[in-house]
Structure 1
Amino acid sequence: MHPAPHLLDLPHHDGSAVHVPPGTPRLGDSVLVRVRVPRDSGVERVWVRSVRDGEPRLTEATPDAGTDADRWFTADVVVHNPVTPYRFLLDGPGGYRWLNGRGVHDRDVSDAGDFRLTTHAPGPAWMGEGLVYQIFPDRFARSAAADARPVPDWAVAAQWEDEPAGTGVLAGTQYYGGDIDGIVEHLDHLAALGVGTVYLTPVFPGRSNHRYDASTFHEVDPLLGGDEAYARLAEAVHARGMRLMGDITTNHTGEGHEWFATALADPDSPEHAMYVWADPSGDTTDVSTTASGEHYASWLGFGSLPKLDWGAPETWRRMVTDPDAPIGRYLRPPFELDGWRVDVANMTGRWADQDRTHAVARELRAAIERERPDGALIAEHFHDAIEDLRAGGWHANMNYTGFTRPAWSWLAAEGSPAAAHGLPVAGARRPGGAMVAAMREFDSAVPWSVTARQWNMLGSHDTPRLRTTVDSDAAAEVAAALLFTYPGTPVVFAGDEIGATGDNGEHARTTMAWDEEARGGGPRWDAEILERYQRLSAMRRGSAALRDGGLRWAVVEDDAVVFLRETPSERVLVVLARGPWAGTVLPGHLLDPGAQRERLYGDVGLDVGPDGLTVDGAGPGVGVFRLSTAA
């Protein structure tokens, strides 16, 4: 079997500091961009093609300093528009080719995959520090105070060890009684895991265990310990140097919300104007009906979640601009949240011929930054978030399409229904090329500053668990290594780090087996998986290249992918194999002369010899190596 060919003889560019100066340009600035052109590529001349006011412009690039292996070309791109696309025209044997964010093409291409400079500031730097740890409050931990709280009338009490319901009414009403002080009591676990940001799903009162059906935004649910407990959590999290993110619904409230109650009682009230009232003679999809016969828009037709109308000034006031509006209030003492994750952000402000989503996102960001200049705004968008992410509102997205689904497709068990989450078909096990193509398609369409802050996940409270999706511990380890080495911020849903399972989003909302943790492990607390996550997290924290570096694909095979993460001061090689493969030989110049390669994680072999760097074809397996202190 011949070694797999590598891709490192192709020209390369990305938006990282190796190729683009750090910082956010202003309108009118010229930004000097660099492109790496391997000498073996045959490319002799390079132009940069930028788009200004819809019209392409070509500027010839200038040869810059190079090495025996690579030539560098530089050119200025004028940032004339808030988002300025550009790509490279390459001239060499066989005719011209294009280099964009999806690779090198010997054909003409659309602008969709172009690199992009933007005047929109990136998410704050702290978003890339440590991992984000997602907590579903009802299922994480119970403090002693939880025992004294009565079970609410909407709920069905469950024992902590009970299996969560995956379907039916019980999925939303099963009540375990986890609370906020329970989280405070287990922050040592988060610290040991290397958590940088604690993200809680909603804490406002509702009539469900998920609390996305808020009945008010003016207080924290007393079932969780109320405002006082939330303030204690914020103080404890910040004292450890971590950040705290909230979760809010801007698309809808619960039908039990005080605003909706007033809207139903008084059609002339300001609150009535805050909701979308539908025309019953038109499209009735996602429309619900009140007891009095009024028709209102609701989230996916669920009458318990009436949709807010962002065309109403009162909605803006109550949600954003009023001094007591929740967006700003919870960013101030005593809570001092560091930002918001916004539920179904893609639907907010959108209904029929109305589309205010980008305006809402920009105003939410502005309101956050007025309270906390380094505050973050994350969208939940399960689908194609590209246009929304380029509009200057959301700092990043929960990256289901650009990371989660591609990773599942490569590592899932064949036919796994979990891997086809949300689709009426069985899951498919795709080759590595399909995974990489999907990742590049979504990454290339947004500025690098967005890609570098995306929330990458292997699952969440709305999806099956990773361990169920891949159905193999070895594949789960490959997935975890991909999570901690890919550009963006790794997000871990509480329980993934101990091997939790679950067939769908509701079934995946498992409790944490703290009793087994105290005994050193058990059926619901896999200490080996926890140690794996701790090592991967520490590895990422200790590497500037893994936190902030660019991404250069080196090998893309059916059963293995290899890539480089690079900063001006470090180069890291990542090898991920879902099964046995042919291995590869990479150019020896990737390793600094006289340097020794340093294994950071895994057991895949890497030999250094006169022919280059030989990667063995063992699999499934992982290998992460520090090769160089200069890219």
Structure 2
Amino acid sequence: MAPHSRHQPVDPGMSVLTRAWPLAAAATLLASCASVPTPAPQASAALAPSDEVFYHVFNRSLRDSDGDGHGDLQGIIDSLDYLKELGVTSILLTPLYPSAFYHNYFASDFEGIDPEYGTMEDYHRLVAEVHKRGMKIYLDQEIQYVAYDHPWYTQSLGNPASPYSDFLVWRGPGNTQPDEGPFAIVVAKHWPDLETGITTLNMESPELKAYFDRYFLSWVDPNGDGDFSDGVDGFRIDHMMDNLDERDMHTNLFAEFWRPLFDKVRAVNPQVIFIAEQSDWGYGEDFLTRGDADYVFAFPLREAIRSFDKAKIVEAIRGTANATPQGKHQLIFIENHDMNRVASDEGMTPTRLRTAAALGILLQGTPLLYYGQELGMHGVQDMRFETDEKDIGIREAFEWEAEVEAPIHANWYRDPSKSYWTDKYSQSHDGISVEEQDGDPDSLLNFYRRLLDLRTKHPALSRGSLEVMESAPELLVVERKLDGERFHLVANLSDRMVNYQGPGQADLLGGSGRALAPYDIALFKLN
């Protein structure tokens, strides 16, 4: 393994296919999947997609359980009761596999768990604790590239006879020149002042496809016994593309790589969900149809909500609906690990922050919260950095306590010589922590709790139809309706006070009534 890696090297004498702890069971499952009966649904699987509420965890930043500064699996376990009480049903993790990169997106090995997160036993305990609470767990998989310290690379570099030679794309004779990675990256500089090469896998290799068939099944049914209660409920596919990086090298991947993989996993457990991060950040129709993903991310709606522009929001609502076939779904979100936090947007106010929250949760679709969003955590990408350090500001430690240096805070980026630490967004006693907001009925945290509670209690707000209603030019009015239950969600998207003249009585969001302040929002039950 390259000397810059943060992890222990893999024994090069061991085959990836033989040392993988669950893959033998997965291979048996794959061979006999046609005869596997559908098991009785587990508690976690009873949730319909429209009833789910996702919480996107940046693993390294959520909670530190052992004092090493890194968020870990036990820290996630320790956070589950808080998330359950918030109204979350589904946990979406960033990658767990070992990587030289702090975000774990370029694997040093697809097997096992990053040791800074814990062990495979810790992971199994996390799955058990999630399912015990009737919740779901989703894993993030980025499988189109590997880092130079991956055993497939180290064992086949200069060695065409390696069993992994066909797993990678080679340019030079005798496996001497690896292909570039995404965005034409060859060697990536990264935190903390290191660099690692990245290369592309051969997505056309039959052996590689077979490996990933077994690999995904190993997470779905770890011991191959047909009981999925100890397995993952779904996957996020990072940077999913049909023509990888638009290089015309690996084309038709929807039909020849992704759909066959999805089909094999669904043949074993039909309830497994696949979420596509569509690479173009568009409406995602192609990913839902030709790609056969179950979910995509509602990127255009996210941008429109944060614009507070009525016309853009209406256009994105309609575009999202038109792009979503029956039986497919959109994840509605307002921030994630790749973009500035909404609380740091120019002109943001507490009122706008609540309006963005309500639109992100009460519009049609499945809500996704990014960790700390419910507290109003701040963060902006710092483009002065030319490495993944630029994103640390939007991936800071979750603020459990008022003191930034609290032992459970995952301050893995602590470095007094770096501006992302000395100028960090989180500050002690700034009002942005669970400790400071938990008991305050007017806090943003409790506003999120109220929104998610309303969504749970009223199926019209989760499963209901949505119609944009005629209204005053300044007002966005949408109707959610199901089985005779009707609501109007009303947002004043102007800088002046506007009166809502439509039906409904008291504002269920706790506002003052029909006179909406600038950029305020209200929810009225019509019957």
Q: TM-score, normalised by structure 2?
A: 0.74
> By percentage of residues, which structure has more strand?
1
Structure 2 vs 1, CA of residues 556 and 511 (structure 1 numbering), >3 Å: closer, same or farther?
farther
Q: Which residue of 2 aligns with 1:414?
A: none
Q: Is the 8 A contact 2:170 2:176 kept in 1?
A: no
Report deviation, 1:347: 6.0
Task: Give 2:522's aligned residue.
Answer: 623
Contact kept, 8 Å, 2:355 with 2:520, in 1: the verdict is yes
**Structure 1 residues 338-387: Cα deviation after superposition (integer angstroms, max 9, x where no partner):** 01001101267564154233123322322332332211100112522222
Matched, 1:129 2:28: no
Q: How many residues align?
A: 423
Q: Report matched runs for 1:100-139 at 5 Å.
A: 125-139=47-61
Matched, 1:447 2:320: no
Q: How far has the Cα of 1:398 moved from its partner?
A: 1.9
Shift of 1:617: 4.6
Cα separation, partners in 2 of 1:199 and 1:617, compared to 1, 3 Å: closer
Task: Describe how 1:188-203 pairs up with structure 2 within 5 A.
Answer: 188-203=81-96
Aligned-partner SS, 1:305? strand
Distance 2:171 2:491 in 1: 51
Partner of residue 359, structure 2: 482
Aligned-partner Cα distance in 2 for 1:211–1:562: 42
Partner of 2:237: 342
Q: Residues 40-79 of structure 1 correspond to what in structure 2 (within 5 A)?
A: none
1:223 Cα deviation after fit: 1.4
* Correspondence for 1:507: 393
Per the TM alignment, residue 399 of structure 1 is displaced from its structure 2 partner at its CA by 1.8
Map 1:161-200 → 2, pairs under 5 A:
176-200=69-93
Please show how residues 545-624 of structure 1 align to structure 2 within 5 Å.
545-555=460-470, 559-578=474-493, 579-580=495-496, 582-586=498-502, 597=505, 599-603=507-511, 605-606=513-514, 616-624=515-523
- Partner SS for 1:253: strand
The equivalences for 1:87-102 within 5 A come to none
Matched, 1:543 2:458: yes
Aligned-residue sequence identity (percent) comes to 25
1:429-476 C-alpha deviation (Å, 9 max, x unpaired): xx31122113322431331433xx211111011111110125211111
3-state SS of 2:160 partner: coil
Which residue of 2 is the match for residue 314 of structure 1?
207
Distance 2:521 2:171 in 1: 54
Greater C-alpha radius of gyration:
1
Residues 169-568 of structure 1: pairs in structure 2 closer than 5 A: 176-277=69-170, 294-303=177-186, 304-320=197-213, 325-333=214-222, 335-346=230-241, 349=244, 351-352=247-248, 354-359=250-255, 360-381=257-278, 382-384=280-282, 385-391=284-290, 393-401=292-300, 403-410=301-308, 431-450=309-328, 453-469=329-345, 471-504=348-381, 505-516=391-402, 522-525=430-433, 527=437, 528-555=443-470, 559-568=474-483
Q: For residues 482 and 194 of structure 1, what CA distance do their matches in structure 2 show?
A: 16
Q: Sort the Cα spacing of 1:218 and 1:444 in 2 relative to 1 into closer, same or farther, 3 A.
A: same
CA distance in 2, matches of 1:185, 1:524: 20
Q: Distance in 2 between matches of 1:178 and 1:208?
A: 14
Question: What's the offset of the Cα at 1:315?
Answer: 1.5
CA distance in 2, matches of 1:538, 1:222: 37
The 2-side partners of 1:445 and 1:572 are apart by 24
Say if 1:361 and 1:555 are closer, same or farther in 2 by CA, change over 3 A.
farther
- What residue identity is the alignment partner of 1:326? Y
What letter is aligned with 1:331? V
Residue 354 to residue 124, structure 1, CA distance change in 2 (3 Å): farther
> How far apart are residue 305 of structure 1 and its match?
3.0
Structure 2, unaligned stretches of length 5 or more?
Answer: 1-44, 187-196, 224-229, 382-390, 409-427, 438-442
Q: Is the CA contact (8 Å cut-off) linking 1:309 and 1:349 kept in structure 2?
A: no
* Cα distance in 2 for residues equivalent to 1:558 and 1:509: 38
Query: C-alpha distance in 2, partners of 1:441/1:506?
Result: 32
**Residues in 2 aligned to 1:399 and 1:445: alpha-carbon distance in whole angstroms:** 10
Tell whether the 8 Å contact from 2:302 to 2:333 is kept in structure 1 after alignment: yes
- Once the two structures are superposed, what CA deviation does each residue of 1:380-402 show, in whole Å capped at 9, x if it has no partner? 1252222222225200112212x
Deviation at 1:584, TM superposition (A): 4.6
2:65 maps to 143
| Matched-pair contact (CA < 8 Å) for 2:236–2:275 | yes
1:604 Cα offset (Å): 5.4
CA contact (8 A) 1:575 1:604 kept: no
- Provide Cα deviations, 1:52-91, integer angstroms capped at 9, x if missing partner: xxxxxxxxxxxxxxxxxxxxxxxxxxxxxxxxxxxxxxxx
**Given residue 538 of structure 1, which amino acid in structure 2 is its aligned partner?**
D
CA distance in 2 between counterparts of 1:558 and 1:366 reads 47
Query: SS of the counterpart of 1:330?
Result: helix
Q: CA separation in 2, counterparts of 1:491 and 1:531?
A: 17
Please say if residues 203 and 250 of structure 2, whose CA atoms lie closer than 8 Å, have aligned partners that are also in contact.
no
> Which whole-Å CA distance do the structure 1 matches of 2:254 and 2:46 have between them?
20
C-alpha distance in 1 between matches for 2:203 and 2:82: 41
